[in-house]
A and B are shown apart, each in its own frame.
Chain A
Protein backbone atom coordinates (compact mmCIF):
# COMPACT_ATOMS: atom_id res chain seq x y z
CA UNK A 1 0.00 0.00 0.00
CA UNK A 2 2.82 2.42 0.92
CA UNK A 3 4.64 1.72 -2.33
CA UNK A 4 1.49 2.53 -4.33
CA UNK A 5 1.03 5.77 -2.38
CA UNK A 6 4.64 6.83 -3.05
CA UNK A 7 4.30 5.96 -6.69
CA UNK A 8 1.05 7.92 -7.02
CA UNK A 9 2.70 10.91 -5.31
CA UNK A 10 5.63 10.65 -7.72
CA UNK A 11 3.29 10.37 -10.70
CA UNK A 12 1.41 13.44 -9.55
CA UNK A 13 4.58 15.52 -9.36
CA UNK A 14 5.96 14.13 -12.63
CA UNK A 15 2.74 14.80 -14.55
CA UNK A 16 1.70 18.17 -13.13
CA UNK A 17 4.87 19.80 -11.73
CA UNK A 18 5.09 22.32 -14.54
CA UNK A 19 1.33 22.80 -15.03
CA UNK A 20 1.08 26.48 -16.12
CA UNK A 21 -2.41 26.81 -14.67
CA UNK A 22 -1.31 25.53 -11.27
CA UNK A 23 1.76 27.78 -11.28
CA UNK A 24 -0.40 30.79 -12.23
CA UNK A 25 -2.88 29.91 -9.50
CA UNK A 26 -0.20 29.26 -6.91
CA UNK A 27 2.01 32.28 -7.56
CA UNK A 28 0.37 35.11 -9.53
CA UNK A 29 -3.06 35.30 -7.91
CA UNK A 30 -1.70 35.35 -4.32
CA UNK A 31 0.61 38.23 -5.18
CA UNK A 32 -2.36 40.25 -6.50
CA UNK A 33 -4.14 39.58 -3.20
CA UNK A 34 -0.97 40.66 -1.39
CA UNK A 35 -0.96 44.00 -3.25
CA UNK A 36 -4.54 44.64 -2.11
CA UNK A 37 -3.86 43.50 1.46
CA UNK A 38 -0.75 45.66 1.68
CA UNK A 39 -2.73 48.71 0.62
CA UNK A 40 -4.55 48.39 3.97
CA UNK A 41 -1.69 47.43 6.29
CA UNK A 42 1.26 49.25 4.67
CA UNK A 43 3.62 47.32 6.95
CA UNK A 44 6.66 45.20 6.21
CA UNK A 45 5.99 41.50 5.61
CA UNK A 46 5.55 39.46 8.80
CA UNK A 47 5.00 35.67 8.99
CA UNK A 48 1.20 36.04 9.22
CA UNK A 49 1.10 38.10 6.02
CA UNK A 50 3.48 35.73 4.22
CA UNK A 51 1.80 32.49 5.32
CA UNK A 52 -1.71 33.85 4.65
CA UNK A 53 -0.74 34.85 1.12
CA UNK A 54 0.94 31.48 0.55
CA UNK A 55 -2.32 29.93 1.81
CA UNK A 56 -4.20 31.58 -1.05
CA UNK A 57 -1.69 29.98 -3.42
CA UNK A 58 -2.21 26.58 -1.78
CA UNK A 59 -5.97 26.86 -2.13
CA UNK A 60 -5.88 27.94 -5.76
CA UNK A 61 -3.27 25.38 -6.79
CA UNK A 62 -4.79 22.46 -4.89
CA UNK A 63 -8.28 23.05 -6.27
CA UNK A 64 -6.94 23.21 -9.83
CA UNK A 65 -4.74 20.14 -9.30
CA UNK A 66 -7.50 18.02 -7.73
CA UNK A 67 -9.82 18.72 -10.64
CA UNK A 68 -7.20 18.22 -13.36
CA UNK A 69 -5.58 15.13 -11.82
CA UNK A 70 -8.61 13.20 -10.59
CA UNK A 71 -10.76 14.00 -13.61
CA UNK A 72 -7.83 12.76 -15.68
CA UNK A 73 -7.79 9.49 -13.72
CA UNK A 74 -11.53 9.11 -14.36
CA UNK A 75 -11.32 9.96 -18.05
CA UNK A 76 -8.37 7.61 -18.64
CA UNK A 77 -10.18 4.93 -16.59
CA UNK A 78 -6.95 4.23 -14.69
CA UNK A 79 -8.85 3.88 -11.43
CA UNK A 80 -10.63 0.74 -12.67
CA UNK A 81 -7.49 -1.46 -12.49
CA UNK A 82 -6.73 0.07 -9.07
CA UNK A 83 -10.17 -1.00 -7.89
CA UNK A 84 -9.31 -4.57 -8.75
CA UNK A 85 -6.09 -4.42 -6.71
CA UNK A 86 -6.21 -5.50 -3.03
CA UNK A 87 -5.84 -2.01 -1.54
CA UNK A 88 -8.12 -0.34 -4.06
CA UNK A 89 -8.06 3.37 -4.89
CA UNK A 90 -7.32 4.75 -1.40
CA UNK A 91 -3.50 4.65 -1.73
CA UNK A 92 -3.75 6.18 -5.20
CA UNK A 93 -5.92 9.06 -3.97
CA UNK A 94 -3.74 9.63 -0.88
CA UNK A 95 -0.60 9.52 -3.02
CA UNK A 96 -2.08 12.00 -5.45
CA UNK A 97 -3.02 14.32 -2.57
CA UNK A 98 0.49 13.99 -1.09
CA UNK A 99 2.02 14.91 -4.44
CA UNK A 100 -0.30 17.88 -4.75
CA UNK A 101 0.72 19.08 -1.27
CA UNK A 102 4.37 19.04 -2.29
CA UNK A 103 3.50 20.96 -5.46
CA UNK A 104 1.41 23.50 -3.55
CA UNK A 105 4.29 24.11 -1.14
CA UNK A 106 6.03 25.97 -3.99
CA UNK A 107 3.77 28.90 -3.02
CA UNK A 108 5.51 29.31 0.35
CA UNK A 109 8.92 30.46 -0.92
CA UNK A 110 7.44 31.43 -4.29
CA UNK A 111 5.26 34.17 -2.78
CA UNK A 112 7.69 35.23 -0.02
CA UNK A 113 10.30 36.27 -2.58
CA UNK A 114 8.16 38.88 -4.40
CA UNK A 115 6.65 40.09 -1.11
CA UNK A 116 10.11 40.59 0.40
CA UNK A 117 11.32 42.37 -2.73
CA UNK A 118 8.28 44.66 -2.80
CA UNK A 119 7.97 45.62 0.88
CA UNK A 120 10.85 44.01 2.78
CA UNK A 121 10.67 41.60 5.71
CA UNK A 122 9.65 42.85 9.17
CA UNK A 123 12.53 43.18 11.65
CA UNK A 124 12.99 39.93 13.57
CA UNK A 125 10.98 37.93 11.01
CA UNK A 126 10.11 34.66 12.76
CA UNK A 127 11.36 32.09 10.27
CA UNK A 128 10.24 29.16 12.43
CA UNK A 129 6.60 30.30 12.49
CA UNK A 130 6.77 30.98 8.76
CA UNK A 131 8.18 27.53 7.95
CA UNK A 132 6.19 25.40 10.41
CA UNK A 133 3.04 27.47 9.88
CA UNK A 134 3.46 27.28 6.11
CA UNK A 135 3.90 23.50 6.17
CA UNK A 136 0.99 22.99 8.62
CA UNK A 137 -1.24 25.23 6.49
CA UNK A 138 -0.41 23.20 3.37
CA UNK A 139 -1.41 19.98 5.17
CA UNK A 140 -4.56 21.58 6.55
CA UNK A 141 -5.56 22.90 3.14
CA UNK A 142 -4.95 19.51 1.52
CA UNK A 143 -7.11 17.78 4.11
CA UNK A 144 -10.01 20.15 3.40
CA UNK A 145 -9.60 20.15 -0.39
CA UNK A 146 -9.37 16.33 -0.09
CA UNK A 147 -13.10 16.37 0.62
CA UNK A 148 -13.51 17.92 -2.81
CA UNK A 149 -11.43 15.06 -4.23
CA UNK A 150 -14.11 12.67 -3.03
CA UNK A 151 -16.84 14.78 -4.64
CA UNK A 152 -14.93 14.88 -7.94
CA UNK A 153 -14.48 11.09 -7.82
CA UNK A 154 -18.02 10.25 -6.80
CA UNK A 155 -20.15 12.60 -8.87
CA UNK A 156 -20.18 13.66 -12.52
CA UNK A 157 -18.19 16.89 -12.85
CA UNK A 158 -20.24 20.03 -13.34
CA UNK A 159 -18.26 22.83 -15.01
CA UNK A 160 -17.72 25.73 -12.62
CA UNK A 161 -18.63 23.73 -9.50
CA UNK A 162 -15.27 24.41 -7.83
CA UNK A 163 -15.11 28.15 -8.63
CA UNK A 164 -16.67 29.24 -5.37
CA UNK A 165 -14.37 27.24 -3.13
CA UNK A 166 -11.55 29.77 -3.16
CA UNK A 167 -13.84 32.57 -2.00
CA UNK A 168 -15.51 30.38 0.59
CA UNK A 169 -12.36 28.80 2.06
CA UNK A 170 -10.51 32.11 1.94
CA UNK A 171 -13.12 33.58 4.26
CA UNK A 172 -13.51 30.50 6.47
CA UNK A 173 -9.77 29.87 6.76
CA UNK A 174 -9.14 33.43 8.10
CA UNK A 175 -6.08 33.56 5.89
CA UNK A 176 -5.89 37.34 5.60
CA UNK A 177 -7.36 38.54 8.90
CA UNK A 178 -7.85 37.06 12.38
CA UNK A 179 -11.09 35.19 13.05
CA UNK A 180 -12.34 38.07 15.22
CA UNK A 181 -12.58 40.30 12.16
CA UNK A 182 -14.99 37.96 10.36
CA UNK A 183 -18.78 38.39 10.53
CA UNK A 184 -20.28 36.36 13.43
CA UNK A 185 -21.72 33.50 11.32
CA UNK A 186 -18.51 33.02 9.35
CA UNK A 187 -16.43 33.34 12.55
CA UNK A 188 -18.24 30.42 14.17
CA UNK A 189 -17.94 28.23 11.08
CA UNK A 190 -14.26 29.09 10.72
CA UNK A 191 -13.53 27.39 14.06
CA UNK A 192 -14.11 24.08 12.26
CA UNK A 193 -11.44 24.85 9.69
CA UNK A 194 -7.90 23.66 10.49
CA UNK A 195 -6.48 26.56 8.47
CA UNK A 196 -7.92 29.13 10.86
CA UNK A 197 -6.11 27.52 13.82
CA UNK A 198 -2.81 27.37 11.95
CA UNK A 199 -3.22 31.07 11.15
CA UNK A 200 -3.97 31.81 14.82
CA UNK A 201 -0.67 30.17 15.77
CA UNK A 202 1.23 32.02 13.06
CA UNK A 203 -0.30 35.27 14.36
CA UNK A 204 1.17 34.56 17.81
CA UNK A 205 -1.24 32.24 19.63
CA UNK A 206 0.19 29.44 21.80
CA UNK A 207 1.00 25.92 20.63
CA UNK A 208 -2.51 24.79 21.55
CA UNK A 209 -3.82 26.35 18.33
CA UNK A 210 -1.32 24.35 16.31
CA UNK A 211 -2.35 21.17 18.14
CA UNK A 212 -6.04 21.87 17.38
CA UNK A 213 -5.17 22.43 13.73
CA UNK A 214 -3.33 19.10 13.55
CA UNK A 215 -6.28 17.40 15.22
CA UNK A 216 -8.78 18.90 12.75
CA UNK A 217 -6.45 18.08 9.85
CA UNK A 218 -6.31 14.44 11.01
CA UNK A 219 -10.11 14.32 11.35
CA UNK A 220 -10.57 15.82 7.91
CA UNK A 221 -8.13 13.34 6.35
CA UNK A 222 -9.86 10.46 8.16
CA UNK A 223 -13.19 11.62 6.70
CA UNK A 224 -11.61 11.73 3.22
CA UNK A 225 -10.26 8.18 3.63
CA UNK A 226 -13.61 6.98 5.02
CA UNK A 227 -15.55 8.50 2.15
CA UNK A 228 -13.19 7.10 -0.49
CA UNK A 229 -13.38 3.65 1.17
CA UNK A 230 -17.16 3.87 1.15
CA UNK A 231 -17.12 4.91 -2.49
CA UNK A 232 -14.79 2.03 -3.32
CA UNK A 233 -17.09 -0.40 -1.57
CA UNK A 234 -20.10 1.00 -3.41
CA UNK A 235 -18.31 0.77 -6.77
CA UNK A 236 -17.28 -2.81 -6.10
CA UNK A 237 -20.71 -3.84 -4.81
CA UNK A 238 -22.99 -1.97 -7.15
CA UNK A 239 -20.77 -1.24 -10.14
CA UNK A 240 -21.39 2.53 -9.98
CA UNK A 241 -19.79 3.88 -13.16
CA UNK A 242 -16.82 6.23 -12.63
CA UNK A 243 -17.10 8.07 -15.90
CA UNK A 244 -16.35 11.80 -15.92
Chain B
Protein backbone atom coordinates (compact mmCIF):
# COMPACT_ATOMS: atom_id res chain seq x y z
CA UNK B 1 0.00 0.00 0.00
CA UNK B 2 3.06 2.27 -0.09
CA UNK B 3 2.61 3.26 -3.76
CA UNK B 4 1.06 6.75 -3.94
CA UNK B 5 -1.57 5.64 -6.48
CA UNK B 6 -2.75 2.83 -4.22
CA UNK B 7 -2.59 5.08 -1.17
CA UNK B 8 -4.77 7.66 -2.90
CA UNK B 9 -7.21 4.97 -4.03
CA UNK B 10 -7.48 3.59 -0.50
CA UNK B 11 -7.96 7.06 1.00
CA UNK B 12 -10.72 7.94 -1.47
CA UNK B 13 -12.40 4.60 -0.78
CA UNK B 14 -12.42 5.24 2.95
CA UNK B 15 -13.53 8.84 2.63
CA UNK B 16 -16.03 8.75 -0.21
CA UNK B 17 -17.53 5.27 -0.29
CA UNK B 18 -20.20 5.99 2.29
CA UNK B 19 -21.46 2.40 2.26
CA UNK B 20 -18.17 1.36 3.90
CA UNK B 21 -19.74 0.49 7.22
CA UNK B 22 -20.72 -3.02 8.35
CA UNK B 23 -24.47 -2.66 7.81
CA UNK B 24 -24.21 -0.57 4.64
CA UNK B 25 -21.64 -2.85 3.01
CA UNK B 26 -23.43 -6.07 3.91
CA UNK B 27 -26.78 -4.70 2.80
CA UNK B 28 -25.63 -3.02 -0.44
CA UNK B 29 -22.90 -5.32 -1.67
CA UNK B 30 -24.09 -8.74 -0.55
CA UNK B 31 -27.75 -8.99 0.49
CA UNK B 32 -29.15 -6.91 -2.35
CA UNK B 33 -27.48 -8.78 -5.24
CA UNK B 34 -28.09 -12.18 -3.64
CA UNK B 35 -31.78 -11.34 -3.09
CA UNK B 36 -32.16 -10.22 -6.71
CA UNK B 37 -30.31 -13.29 -7.99
CA UNK B 38 -32.53 -15.64 -5.97
CA UNK B 39 -35.69 -13.85 -7.12
CA UNK B 40 -34.84 -13.97 -10.80
CA UNK B 41 -33.52 -17.53 -10.60
CA UNK B 42 -36.87 -18.47 -9.06
CA UNK B 43 -38.68 -16.63 -11.87
CA UNK B 44 -36.57 -18.46 -14.42
CA UNK B 45 -37.18 -21.84 -12.77
CA UNK B 46 -40.94 -21.22 -12.47
CA UNK B 47 -41.35 -20.36 -16.14
CA UNK B 48 -39.12 -23.17 -17.40
CA UNK B 49 -36.13 -20.96 -18.24
CA UNK B 50 -32.49 -21.66 -17.48
CA UNK B 51 -31.74 -21.13 -13.78
CA UNK B 52 -28.03 -21.55 -14.50
CA UNK B 53 -28.04 -18.72 -17.02
CA UNK B 54 -29.89 -16.41 -14.59
CA UNK B 55 -27.55 -17.21 -11.69
CA UNK B 56 -24.50 -16.44 -13.79
CA UNK B 57 -26.12 -13.30 -15.22
CA UNK B 58 -27.27 -11.95 -11.86
CA UNK B 59 -23.80 -12.53 -10.37
CA UNK B 60 -22.13 -10.67 -13.25
CA UNK B 61 -24.67 -7.89 -12.76
CA UNK B 62 -23.71 -7.70 -9.06
CA UNK B 63 -20.09 -7.13 -10.13
CA UNK B 64 -21.00 -4.36 -12.59
CA UNK B 65 -23.35 -2.77 -10.04
CA UNK B 66 -20.54 -2.44 -7.49
CA UNK B 67 -18.17 -0.78 -9.96
CA UNK B 68 -20.71 1.63 -11.44
CA UNK B 69 -22.14 2.76 -8.08
CA UNK B 70 -18.67 2.96 -6.53
CA UNK B 71 -17.36 5.26 -9.25
CA UNK B 72 -20.51 7.42 -9.16
CA UNK B 73 -20.27 7.77 -5.37
CA UNK B 74 -16.55 8.59 -5.59
CA UNK B 75 -17.42 11.81 -7.43
CA UNK B 76 -20.96 12.57 -6.21
CA UNK B 77 -19.96 12.38 -2.55
CA UNK B 78 -17.37 15.14 -3.08
CA UNK B 79 -20.39 17.32 -3.76
CA UNK B 80 -22.30 15.89 -0.77
CA UNK B 81 -19.38 16.71 1.54
CA UNK B 82 -18.88 20.17 0.01
CA UNK B 83 -15.38 19.37 -1.28
CA UNK B 84 -16.06 19.13 -5.02
CA UNK B 85 -14.79 22.65 -5.76
CA UNK B 86 -11.58 22.07 -3.80
CA UNK B 87 -10.93 18.77 -5.54
CA UNK B 88 -11.51 20.20 -9.01
CA UNK B 89 -9.32 23.22 -8.24
CA UNK B 90 -6.41 21.04 -7.12
CA UNK B 91 -3.54 20.45 -9.59
CA UNK B 92 -4.60 16.88 -10.37
CA UNK B 93 -5.74 15.27 -13.59
CA UNK B 94 -9.45 14.74 -12.86
CA UNK B 95 -9.90 11.80 -15.23
CA UNK B 96 -6.83 10.06 -13.81
CA UNK B 97 -8.14 10.71 -10.30
CA UNK B 98 -11.51 9.17 -11.20
CA UNK B 99 -9.72 6.09 -12.55
CA UNK B 100 -7.60 5.90 -9.42
CA UNK B 101 -10.71 6.05 -7.25
CA UNK B 102 -12.21 3.20 -9.25
CA UNK B 103 -9.43 0.76 -8.33
CA UNK B 104 -10.86 -0.38 -4.96
CA UNK B 105 -14.27 -0.81 -6.57
CA UNK B 106 -12.77 -3.17 -9.14
CA UNK B 107 -11.62 -5.41 -6.29
CA UNK B 108 -14.97 -4.92 -4.56
CA UNK B 109 -16.89 -5.75 -7.72
CA UNK B 110 -14.88 -8.91 -8.30
CA UNK B 111 -15.45 -10.10 -4.73
CA UNK B 112 -19.14 -9.12 -4.77
CA UNK B 113 -19.77 -11.00 -8.04
CA UNK B 114 -17.87 -14.04 -6.81
CA UNK B 115 -19.66 -14.16 -3.43
CA UNK B 116 -23.07 -13.74 -5.09
CA UNK B 117 -22.24 -16.60 -7.45
CA UNK B 118 -21.02 -18.90 -4.67
CA UNK B 119 -23.95 -18.17 -2.31
CA UNK B 120 -26.50 -18.70 -5.09
CA UNK B 121 -24.66 -21.85 -6.14
CA UNK B 122 -24.99 -23.07 -2.57
CA UNK B 123 -28.69 -22.20 -2.40
CA UNK B 124 -29.46 -23.96 -5.70
CA UNK B 125 -26.87 -26.70 -5.29
CA UNK B 126 -25.25 -26.01 -8.65
CA UNK B 127 -22.33 -24.03 -10.06
CA UNK B 128 -23.38 -23.49 -13.68
CA UNK B 129 -19.87 -22.70 -14.98
CA UNK B 130 -16.50 -23.65 -13.47
CA UNK B 131 -15.14 -21.15 -10.99
CA UNK B 132 -12.09 -20.20 -13.08
CA UNK B 133 -14.32 -19.54 -16.13
CA UNK B 134 -16.60 -17.37 -14.03
CA UNK B 135 -13.60 -15.50 -12.58
CA UNK B 136 -12.41 -14.80 -16.14
CA UNK B 137 -15.87 -13.53 -17.05
CA UNK B 138 -15.83 -11.24 -14.01
CA UNK B 139 -12.53 -9.71 -15.11
CA UNK B 140 -13.98 -8.89 -18.53
CA UNK B 141 -17.08 -7.41 -16.91
CA UNK B 142 -14.85 -5.27 -14.69
CA UNK B 143 -13.33 -3.74 -17.84
CA UNK B 144 -16.67 -2.86 -19.45
CA UNK B 145 -18.34 -1.79 -16.20
CA UNK B 146 -15.37 0.45 -15.43
CA UNK B 147 -16.01 2.28 -18.71
CA UNK B 148 -19.66 2.80 -17.84
CA UNK B 149 -18.67 3.78 -14.29
CA UNK B 150 -16.39 6.54 -15.59
CA UNK B 151 -19.34 7.87 -17.58
CA UNK B 152 -21.63 7.88 -14.52
CA UNK B 153 -18.83 9.55 -12.53
CA UNK B 154 -18.55 12.19 -15.26
CA UNK B 155 -22.29 12.85 -15.13
CA UNK B 156 -22.01 13.15 -11.33
CA UNK B 157 -19.85 16.24 -11.92
CA UNK B 158 -22.94 17.94 -13.34
CA UNK B 159 -26.01 16.24 -11.84
CA UNK B 160 -26.66 17.09 -8.20
CA UNK B 161 -28.63 13.98 -7.27
CA UNK B 162 -26.25 11.23 -6.18
CA UNK B 163 -28.28 8.18 -7.13
CA UNK B 164 -30.34 9.01 -10.23
CA UNK B 165 -27.61 8.25 -12.79
CA UNK B 166 -26.26 4.98 -11.30
CA UNK B 167 -29.83 3.79 -10.66
CA UNK B 168 -30.74 4.48 -14.26
CA UNK B 169 -27.57 2.74 -15.47
CA UNK B 170 -28.42 -0.30 -13.35
CA UNK B 171 -32.00 -0.47 -14.64
CA UNK B 172 -30.75 -0.25 -18.23
CA UNK B 173 -28.25 -3.04 -17.56
CA UNK B 174 -31.00 -5.23 -16.10
CA UNK B 175 -32.92 -4.98 -19.36
CA UNK B 176 -30.23 -4.69 -22.03
CA UNK B 177 -27.25 -6.70 -20.77
CA UNK B 178 -28.80 -10.10 -21.44
CA UNK B 179 -28.24 -11.16 -17.84
CA UNK B 180 -31.76 -11.32 -16.42
CA UNK B 181 -33.65 -11.59 -19.70
CA UNK B 182 -32.54 -12.84 -23.07
CA UNK B 183 -31.82 -10.11 -25.60
CA UNK B 184 -33.91 -12.22 -28.02
CA UNK B 185 -36.95 -11.08 -26.01
CA UNK B 186 -36.27 -7.42 -26.68
CA UNK B 187 -38.21 -5.74 -29.50
CA UNK B 188 -36.19 -6.32 -32.70
CA UNK B 189 -35.06 -2.66 -33.14
CA UNK B 190 -33.57 -2.74 -29.63
CA UNK B 191 -31.58 -6.00 -30.00
CA UNK B 192 -28.52 -4.38 -31.62
CA UNK B 193 -28.58 -1.70 -28.89
CA UNK B 194 -28.00 -4.38 -26.26
CA UNK B 195 -24.56 -5.10 -27.73
CA UNK B 196 -23.43 -1.65 -26.62
CA UNK B 197 -24.03 -2.49 -22.96
CA UNK B 198 -21.51 -3.97 -20.53
CA UNK B 199 -21.83 -7.71 -19.78
CA UNK B 200 -23.81 -8.40 -22.97
CA UNK B 201 -20.92 -10.09 -24.84
CA UNK B 202 -19.78 -12.16 -21.87
CA UNK B 203 -23.38 -13.15 -21.07
CA UNK B 204 -23.93 -14.20 -24.71
CA UNK B 205 -20.79 -16.37 -24.59
CA UNK B 206 -21.68 -18.04 -21.29
CA UNK B 207 -25.34 -18.64 -22.14
CA UNK B 208 -24.91 -19.68 -25.77
CA UNK B 209 -24.65 -23.33 -26.74
CA UNK B 210 -21.03 -24.39 -27.34
CA UNK B 211 -20.09 -23.92 -30.96
CA UNK B 212 -23.24 -21.97 -31.86
CA UNK B 213 -22.89 -18.84 -29.77
CA UNK B 214 -20.12 -16.27 -30.10
CA UNK B 215 -16.58 -17.55 -29.50
CA UNK B 216 -14.45 -16.75 -26.48
CA UNK B 217 -12.12 -14.37 -28.32
CA UNK B 218 -14.99 -12.60 -30.06
CA UNK B 219 -16.82 -12.11 -26.75
CA UNK B 220 -13.71 -10.91 -24.92
CA UNK B 221 -12.86 -8.42 -27.67
CA UNK B 222 -16.49 -7.26 -27.76
CA UNK B 223 -16.62 -6.74 -24.01
CA UNK B 224 -13.33 -4.80 -23.92
CA UNK B 225 -14.45 -2.70 -26.89
CA UNK B 226 -17.72 -1.85 -25.10
CA UNK B 227 -15.70 -0.78 -22.06
CA UNK B 228 -13.42 1.40 -24.16
CA UNK B 229 -16.33 3.12 -25.90
CA UNK B 230 -18.06 3.90 -22.60
CA UNK B 231 -14.73 5.05 -21.14
CA UNK B 232 -14.15 7.37 -24.11
CA UNK B 233 -17.65 8.80 -23.67
CA UNK B 234 -16.99 9.30 -19.97
CA UNK B 235 -13.61 10.95 -20.58
CA UNK B 236 -15.22 13.31 -23.09
CA UNK B 237 -17.98 14.24 -20.64
CA UNK B 238 -15.47 14.90 -17.88
CA UNK B 239 -13.52 17.26 -20.16
CA UNK B 240 -16.68 19.05 -21.32
CA UNK B 241 -18.00 19.51 -17.77
CA UNK B 242 -14.60 20.67 -16.49
CA UNK B 243 -14.34 23.30 -19.22
CA UNK B 244 -17.89 24.38 -18.58
CA UNK B 245 -17.15 24.59 -14.84
CA UNK B 246 -13.94 26.58 -15.30
CA UNK B 247 -15.84 29.17 -17.37
CA UNK B 248 -18.09 29.68 -14.32
A32 CB → nearest B CB, Å: 5
Kindly state whether residue A41 has any CB partner on chain B within 8 Å.
yes
Contacts of B167 in A (CB 8 A): 24
Contact A164 B43 (CB under 8 A): no
Number of A-B contacts defined by CB within 8 Å: 109
Report the bound CA distance from A163 to B35 in whole Å.
Answer: 11
A197 CB → nearest B CB, Å: 17
Instruction: Point out the residue from B32, B35, B175 that lies within 8 Å of A35, measured CB to CB.
Output: B175
Main secondary structure of the interface of B (DSSP, over half): helix
Contact B47 A164 (CB under 8 A): no
In the complex formed, the residue of B with least CB distance to A159 is B18
Instruction: Point out the residue from B31, B39, B124 that lies within 8 Å of A164, measured CB to CB.
Output: B31
Kindly state whether residue A28 has any CB partner on chain B within 8 Å.
yes
B108-143 near A? 1/0 per residue, CB < 8 Å:
000000000000000110000000000000000000
Contacts of A36 in B (CB 8 A): 40, 43, 174-175, 180-181
Contact B42 A160 (CB under 8 A): no
Contact A160 B27 (CB under 8 A): yes
Q: How many residues of B contact A (CB 8 A)?
A: 40
Instruction: Point out the residue from A21, A163, A171, A177 that lies within 8 Å of B27, measured CB to CB.
Output: A163
Q: How many residues of A contact B (CB 8 A)?
A: 34
Contacts of A32 in B (CB 8 A): 171, 174-175
In the complex formed, the residue of A with least CB distance to B18 is A159
Contact A178 B46 (CB under 8 A): yes
CB under 8 Å from chain A, chain B span 29-58: 30-36, 38-47, 49
CB under 8 Å from chain A, chain B span 15-29: 18-19, 21-28
In the complex formed, the residue of A with least CB distance to B54 is A40
Pairs across A and B, CB under 8 Å, 21 listed:
A24-B164, A32-B171, A37-B43, A40-B47, A158-B22, A160-B18, A160-B25, A160-B28, A161-B27, A163-B19, A163-B31, A164-B32, A167-B33, A167-B36, A167-B39, A170-B35, A170-B36, A171-B39, A175-B39, A177-B45, A186-B123
B interface with A by C-beta (< 8 Å): 18-19, 21-28, 30-36, 38-47, 49, 123-124, 163-164, 167, 171, 174-175, 180-182, 185
8 residue pairs, one from A and one from B, having the closest CB atoms: A167-B35, A164-B31, A160-B24, A160-B19, A164-B27, A39-B185, A40-B47, A181-B46
